[in-house]
Structure 1
Amino acid sequence: MKSWKSLQALLVSLVMVMVVTACGGNAGSKPADSSTAEGSANSGSASGDVKITLLNSKGEIQTQLEDAAKAFKEDYPNITLEIIPVPAGQSPFEKASALYAANSPSTITMLDTGDVEKFKDRILDLSEEKWMSDKVDGSTDLTTFDGKNYAFPLSIEGYGFIYNKAVVDKAVGGSFDPATITTTQALGDLFKKIEASGTGALIVSPMDWSLAAHFLPLAYAGQSADKAAVNQFITDLQAGSVDLASNKVFNGLMDTFDLMKEHNIDKASPLAGTYEKGPEVLGKGEVGIWFQGNWAWPQISSFDTASGAYGFLPVPISNNTDDFGNTQISAAVSKRLVLDKEKSTTEQQAAAKTFLEWMVYKEKGQDFLINKANIVPAFKNITLEPKDPLAKSIQAYIAGGKIEESMSALPADHWSKVGASMQKYLAGAADRATLAKEIQEYWTTVK
């Protein structure tokens, strides 16, 4: 995990980008270097055509990636890019591992940050790529091993409670101020006001990845603003020396989760919900709040009846406004792209590198990232201003120094195993003591 100072540097760099915006292989074959990537891709293979694949673990931008592949082909007619989705319920680590086991890895694989190191002997060193000089400071710290960077930082993502401003404005009888929600009590009062106005307070999405890759990690990251202390907490969890059941931050976060369970529109059948239902009911104004991240904007916008008026609220963990986490939202560089070197040809590797550069430097590529996929980019040279309100909300929190670093290097099976425990708790099939015990038992098995 990178240090808090590294994250601060990353965020400062991103804020500077915002200021500018506001103002204006075959095994054994030699990988193509960045200086020849575009030329090799244009010349292609002996047949003149190169086909590459991208394993996509961000299902919410599958359509946007498919459209990007078409736009990319317009600029590079001899390169065909196929987008392969990771099946719902399967982690990118599991799918990528299965493809390698079958000797058919994708040319480009989208991994979670913590998975990159597991594949470093099978993927290309990207340290000399052109975009390395334009990346946001600190954005490759977690994917650099022995002085070599192995991954392309695709996006900065943030998450928390997304609110539909039209709904909450009606609930509070005026213009809602998100700065008023800084405690668990204030959040509970807002839930009640929304319900009193005739609308559902919120929907809780029961997917294991949402519960255990995003919500529960707030209990880890929220231990301290000092990243070293957070790292030590994880070390202590692995050593079995943490009593999670008595941990203040964990219990505070679960108190908030209990509020969510109480006001969940799906509480009668809490595990029956789907990801797709969340953006629909929020966008249509059938609920006021949904716990999710900025990646959900493409889906929310397709149902939007609030004229794009949405933003983020922190997930409070106590009734003390000054406690870390009560006024911050979680954010970090999340998804990474890595390039296969075991089965991909030199021409395919060059074509894949060309696609990465296309996203960073070409107009259509930047348009895909910012306007189509609604991604907050991790590159200082990209000064397009995001149009979506969730990216803007994240930028406002960053500019205000109100960021809690996301736990982007969790073990690959964390969301599936711990997620199952969170689902039991959500459904009332386990109490808090059981949940804490199962989480602790999981960590003691992590190698």
Structure 2
Amino acid sequence: MKVRLFISLLILVSLMVACSSGESDDNNTASNGDEVVIDVFNIKVETTDQLNNLVEEYESENENVSINVTTVGGGQDAPSALQAKFSSGEEPSIFLLGGLSDTEKYSEYLLDVSDMESAKTAIDGTLDGATIDGTPYGIPLNIEGYGWMINKQIFEQAGVDPASIDSYQSFVEAVETIDAQKEELGIESVFAFSAKEDWVVSQFSSHFTAPEFDNNIQTAFKADQLNFEYGDRMKEYVDLFNQYNYQPILSLDYSTSVEELFANDQVAIIHQGNWIVPSLNSIDESFVKEKLGIVPLFVESDDEGKIVAGPSWYWGINKEKDEEVVEESKKFLDWMYTSDTGKDLIVNDFKYIPAHEGYDPEDISDPVSREVYEYLLNGKGKIWANNQYPDGFFSEALLPEFQKYLGDQQSWEEFEKNVSQSFTEMR
């Protein structure tokens, strides 16, 4: 009897130990309390390696922290993937917000970041894109700008000085000049606009919608109407690149446009931003320094060209995680943007334009990123209006209607009417 009792107790103790050692907290704190696990949801595929390097550096300085990075983007539907994470109960500790629409969508999960060093050192105005009712809920990732990214070498070989493009008409003339010499230049086409990518189409539209919203993030976010006040100029640009684009334009994706055609001197112009710098550097280290340039769009006026520039994405912290995870997430982001090591990686590894104070502009190594920074400082930058569109608008309404126009399935007037109607309905 005593033997059976002893064995029963031994089994019970063993089971308890097994359960204890195997048990972990769903909110990312290990049972022994020594290691904190942070799950990061990243959509910046072009800097995946750089983020992984930064994480390794942080982990080496903080042995009690383990950071898992999930990257979804490029040709994948990142917003849907993030939503799926939350729907499945596998929500990340830190994730990227694409402006006020995302901030509102995930507001029940988001931490007020106003007490963080990386919020206090953010450049004036850069928190606006993730601020609701005066409370900031996101740390700006960086400053990004976009417009027509050009291969200056192809322009110069065609006898076109990029600096001479000072109006819409001079841009048209440059395009026609390059197209007339395609064979001699050894290029496939002038443009490689990625009309398959909803985010590329959405970003392109910002050039024309930002001035309608008074170039104000809050105005754009609260707007319930899109009237295409600059629709005529938008149509002119669309017709121009469609005529001289690599075809079939409707199936042209980011990778083909940027990494195959543009990086290999097969096209002269793409619609992208300074985030392509790391990708280009990985393919040809000389491309960015010797060939890459940016040309603005002339929308409100033929006398002044502008690009879209400002914070594009914000890091949000999931306040529903365990306190230890939330605190370590804050420390990680503060380290990223305010420590000497983090700042060095942001500028020299990521090649980012910093959205925080404490950086030397001369540290911005590539000329295009410096040019974007100068556009912003000189008041020639527009807001990321597309990040303030209604949730799902650019993928469910703007892209399909835009593609219908490019595919000759509807008129421009029908495009404007259908998109405007969807904008109001989805708001």
71, 78, 98: which one aligns with 2:57: 71
For 1:50, the equivalent position in structure 2 comes to: 36
Partners in 2 of 1:336 and 1:137 — Cα distance?
Answer: 15
Partners in 1 of 2:244 and 2:143 — Cα distance?
Answer: 30
223, 232, 235: which one aligns with 1:251: 232
Q: Deviations along 1:291-337, whole A, 9 cap, x unmatched?
A: 1111111112233354623221112337x523xxx511111211011
Q: Is the 8 A contact 1:93 1:111 kept in 2?
A: no
- Residue 438 (structure 1) shift: 1.8
Unaligned runs of 5+ in 1: 1-25, 30-40
Q: Say yes or no: does 1:315 pair with 2:297.
A: yes
Q: Name the amino acid aligned to 2:266.
A: E
Q: Is the 8 A contact 1:208 1:415 kept in 2?
A: no
410, 415, 419: which one aligns with 1:439: 419
Q: Is the 8 A contact 2:197 2:253 kept in 1?
A: no
Instruction: Give the count of matched residue pairs.
Output: 392
Q: Secondary structure at the match of 2:418?
A: helix
Q: Deviations along 1:45-74, whole A, 9 cap, x unmatched?
A: 734212111111222222221222112212
Cα–Cα, structure 1 residues 402 and 77, in superposed 2: closer, same or farther, change >3 Å?
same
261, 268, 273: which one aligns with 1:288: 268
Q: Secondary structure at the match of 2:409?
A: coil
Cα–Cα, structure 1 residues 229 and 274, in superposed 2: closer, same or farther, change >3 Å?
closer
Q: Say yes or no: does 1:153 pair with 2:140.
A: yes
- Residue 144 (structure 1) shift: 2.5
For 2:243, the equivalent position in structure 1 comes to: 262
Partners in 2 of 1:92 and 1:401 — Cα distance?
Answer: 31
Partners in 2 of 1:236 and 1:255 — Cα distance?
Answer: 22
Partners in 2 of 1:228 and 1:146 — Cα distance?
Answer: 13
Cα–Cα, structure 1 residues 52 and 226, in superposed 2: closer, same or farther, change >3 Å?
closer
Question: Which of 1 and 2 has higher RCO (CA within 8 Å, sep 6+)?
Answer: 1
Cα–Cα, structure 1 residues 414 and 352, in superposed 2: closer, same or farther, change >3 Å?
same
Partners in 1 of 2:113 and 2:242 — Cα distance?
Answer: 44
Unaligned runs of 5+ in 2: 1-24
- Residue 431 (structure 1) shift: 2.4
Partners in 2 of 1:136 and 1:45 — Cα distance?
Answer: 39
- Residue 367 (structure 1) shift: 2.7
For 1:387, the equivalent position in structure 2 comes to: 365
Q: Secondary structure at the match of 1:391?
A: helix
Partners in 1 of 2:107 and 2:124 — Cα distance?
Answer: 21
Q: Say yes or no: does 1:144 pair with 2:126.
A: no
- Residue 394 (structure 1) shift: 0.1
306, 328, 337: which one aligns with 1:328: 306
For 1:275, the equivalent position in structure 2 comes to: 254
322, 337, 340: which one aligns with 1:345: 322
- Residue 338 (structure 1) shift: 0.7
Which is further off, 249-258 or 387-396? Answer: 387-396
- Residue 352 (structure 1) shift: 1.0
Query: Identity, % of aligned pairs?
Result: 24
- Residue 228 (structure 1) shift: 9.2
For 1:127, the equivalent position in structure 2 comes to: 114
Cα–Cα, structure 1 residues 250 and 351, in superposed 2: closer, same or farther, change >3 Å?
same
- Residue 87 (structure 1) shift: 5.1
Q: Deviations along 1:253-292, whole A, 9 cap, x unmatched?
A: 11111100011122xx112222112223222222111111
Q: Secondary structure at the match of 1:302?
A: helix
Q: Is the 8 A contact 1:255 1:317 kept in 2?
A: no
141, 152, 156: which one aligns with 1:169: 156
Q: Name the amino acid aligned to 1:216.
A: S
Q: Name the amino acid aligned to 1:221.
A: A
Partners in 1 of 2:49 and 2:388 — Cα distance?
Answer: 27
* Runs of 4+ that moved beyond 6 A: none
Q: Secondary structure at the match of 1:416?
A: helix
Cα–Cα, structure 1 residues 67 and 429, in superposed 2: closer, same or farther, change >3 Å?
farther
- Residue 439 (structure 1) shift: 0.5
Q: Secondary structure at the match of 2:254?
A: coil
Partners in 1 of 2:380 and 2:359 — Cα distance?
Answer: 23
Partners in 1 of 2:180 and 2:283 — Cα distance?
Answer: 23
Partners in 2 of 1:125 and 1:233 — Cα distance?
Answer: 21
Q: Name the TM-score, length of structure 1 as normaliser.
A: 0.80
Q: Is the 8 A contact 1:66 1:82 kept in 2?
A: no
Q: Say yes or no: does 1:205 pair with 2:191.
A: no
- Residue 222 (structure 1) shift: 3.1
Q: Is the 8 A contact 1:256 1:317 kept in 2?
A: no
Partners in 2 of 1:224 and 1:122 — Cα distance?
Answer: 29
Q: Is the 8 A contact 2:280 2:287 kept in 1?
A: no
Which is further off, 350-359 or 205-214? Answer: 205-214
For 2:207, the equivalent position in structure 1 comes to: 218
Q: Name the amino acid aligned to 2:156.
A: D
- Residue 231 (structure 1) shift: 4.4
Q: Name the amino acid aligned to 2:423.
A: W
Q: Deviations along 1:94-115, whole A, 9 cap, x unmatched?
A: 3333222211100101110121
Q: Secondary structure at the match of 1:444?
A: helix
Partners in 2 of 1:216 and 1:228 — Cα distance?
Answer: 15
- Residue 148 (structure 1) shift: 2.4
For 1:22, the equivalent position in structure 2 comes to: none
| Bigger Cα Rg | 2
Cα–Cα, structure 1 residues 170 and 217, in superposed 2: closer, same or farther, change >3 Å?
same
Partners in 1 of 2:408 and 2:298 — Cα distance?
Answer: 22
- Residue 82 (structure 1) shift: 1.2
Partners in 2 of 1:51 and 1:433 — Cα distance?
Answer: 52
Q: Is the 8 A contact 2:141 2:313 kept in 1?
A: yes
